[in-house]
Amino acid sequence: MTRRTLLRAGAVAAGTSALAAATAPGASAASPVFVHGVASGDPLPDAVILWTRVTPVPEAMPGSGVGPATTVQWQIARDADFTDTVASGSVSATAATDHTVKVDATGLTPGTDYYYRFVSGGAVSPTGRTHTAPSADAHVAGLRLGVVSCADWEGGYFGSYRHLAARGDLDAMVHLGDYLYEYAAGQFPVSTGTEVRMHVPAHEIVTLADYRMRHGQYKTDPDLQRLHAQVPWIVVWDDHESANDAWAGGAENHDPASEGDWASRKAASVRAYDEWMPVRMEGDRLYRRLRFGDLAELSMLDLRTYRSQQSRPLDGRSVDDPGRTMTGQDQMAWLTAGLVSSPTRWQLVGNSVMFAPVLLPPLDARTTRALTTLLGVPSSGIPFNTDQWDGYPADRQRVLDAIRGAGRRNVVFLTGDIHTSWASDIPENAADYPGAGTVATEFVVPSVTSANIDELLGVPPRSASPALEEVVRSTNRHVRFVELDSHGFGVLEVTPEAAQMEWFFLDDRTDPSTGVRRAAGFRVREGSARVEPLAPIGYAQFETGQP
């Protein structure tokens, strides 16, 4: 363990008793005003977003549009007893923002633990703990991030959040999308009949009131509340925060004939997200960049708002069209300029859909173009999933050209969306790997609860998937690790020497007390742009930092 980690562990221990009491399951029940907990996010060296929601009267439930304006006081301090308060203020929570409260607390000290709380009408919220980012010029020896994606309320309990909250050693949480799901109760496409708890409202969410209600339901989960209260979150949406397979002009799970125009639904989902999440947005712009001293920059991408409509996998003319975009022109310019000019050792990309190619099989366009043109299939091979970057190869190539042109060797994509676990090299040419070289690496985390391959097929875990995994690895040799069945989370640790991901899998997503195990670990050494396996170690050893 680094000296910094030990010092932070001591600081955490000093405030554990007060914080544990405030964030234990059911703790908010003592204060019906703060039933949705507290949260923080988007840490800067001198600022952090603080969040809560108040219920001023019983009928002022999420999405109700009723309830009086209520004054809410906020406090942020260096200690859990609030004897050393460094900033405070008051805001008015109204029905116009669903009685949510967001404060951008400024004037803080870089690299510092803080405690915060809210007070309204004599009621006191649970106490949250947060942490500011290091100063831009600080030498940072280590960064540890929890990484999650795809949490379907009906698919199981949020055991991943409980185990992450118990660690006490994270600098921040990175949520890569599908924080919630839009489907009607019991209508998740691959989990019907296996729900352990049901969505509210029971119908598919479409209106602003619907999205507010669904956000409110998710924020009542005790494990989610505990993790929000323990550490700042850095979030980005994927599709289910609005509708499945969303793109700039619509979504697969949106019917204009019965659900109205897409622009209105999308705007409602964005407004509710901005109200209910501890995120710093500029209007409806979500993509942004956070820095951790001289060690790492994290670019969080919005890969739904600006993208072209998805292509069919066999439609080579559409897939290969250089005018189609995943990011949109402005976001692409922002992303590539940031990667090229970054002053930090590592460049991390928070990426909601898989970046590495998964092709059946990879083809070398230089030698097979005549055949693929004749057949009308994509020039680099048939994509497994055109909702991923495989459906937008021209945009992916623009990113790779920028990375390679700048001589960057430490770009790591952090990805969610596909409910499975992967570690991959990003090849220059997937059909000529490893001979053509690599440009970057990617770590994909599994779902918190959302159904995956074994559940999709209706077979026991680890019965059909090992054969599928072998097919993937044998045809796409840059894929170094893939596991298609398990639910859980990742923990990313970044040092000047390496970036490594540890995968932790739950024993049973339907058990609210589920255990967890460390399942795999891969790292990329500084300057290598190649992933390599970590030696197997026990969960307890990793938790305590023992060799």
Residue 96: give its domain's CATH number. 2.60.40.380
Q: What's the pLDDT tens digit per position in 149-160?
A: 999 999 999 999
b/e per residue, 468-506, with b = 16+ CB within 10 A? ebeebeebbbbbbbbbbbbbbbbbbbbbbebbbbbbbbb
pLDDT band at 9 (very low <50, low <70, confident <90, very high): very low
**Percentage of residues in the chain having pLDDT higher than 70:** 92
Name the residue among 47, 37, 69 with its Cα closest to residue 56: 69
Asked if 139 and 127 sit in the same domain, the reply is: no
Give the global pTM: 0.92
**Does residue 328 surpass a pLDDT of 70?**
yes
**What is the domain extent for residue 11?**
1-133
Name the residue among 504, 501, 497, 492 with its Cα closest to residue 534: 501
- Count the domains in the chain: 2
Separation between Cα atoms, residue 142 and residue 418, nearest integer Å? 28
Q: Which residue has the higher pLDDT, 254 or 367?
A: 254
pLDDT band at 13 (very low <50, low <70, confident <90, very high): very low
Average pLDDT over residues 84-107: 98
Asked if 164 and 117 sit in the same domain, the reply is: no
Identity (one letter) of the amino acid at 8?
Answer: R
> What is the overall mean pLDDT for the chain?
92
Asked if 123 and 138 sit in the same domain, the reply is: no
pLDDT reported for residue 24: 35
Q: What's the pLDDT tens digit per position in 264-278?
A: 999 999 999 999 999
Structural Rg of the chain based on CA atoms: 23
pLDDT band at 192 (very low <50, low <70, confident <90, very high): low
pLDDT reported for residue 191: 59
**Comparing 192-201, 223-232, 362-371, 431-440, which segment has the lowest mean pLDDT?**
192-201
Average pLDDT over residues 377-401: 97
How open is the CA angle 306-308-310, to the nearest 5 degrees?
130
**Does residue 6 surpass a pLDDT of 80?**
no
Q: Which residue has the higher pLDDT, 1 or 253?
A: 253
Average pLDDT over residues 158-171: 97
pLDDT reported for residue 393: 97
Per the listing, tokens 């970590």 go with 534
pLDDT band at 372 (very low <50, low <70, confident <90, very high): confident
Asked if 361 and 478 sit in the same domain, the reply is: yes
- Residue 544 has a CB neighbour count (10 Å cut-off) of 11
Separation between Cα atoms, residue 242 and residue 508, nearest integer Å? 28
Separation between Cα atoms, residue 88 and residue 348, nearest integer Å? 33
Domain's final residue, options 98, 133, 168: 133
438-444 and 421-427 as β-strands: parallel, antiparallel, unpaired?
antiparallel
User: For position 335, which CATH number holds?
Assistant: 3.60.21.70
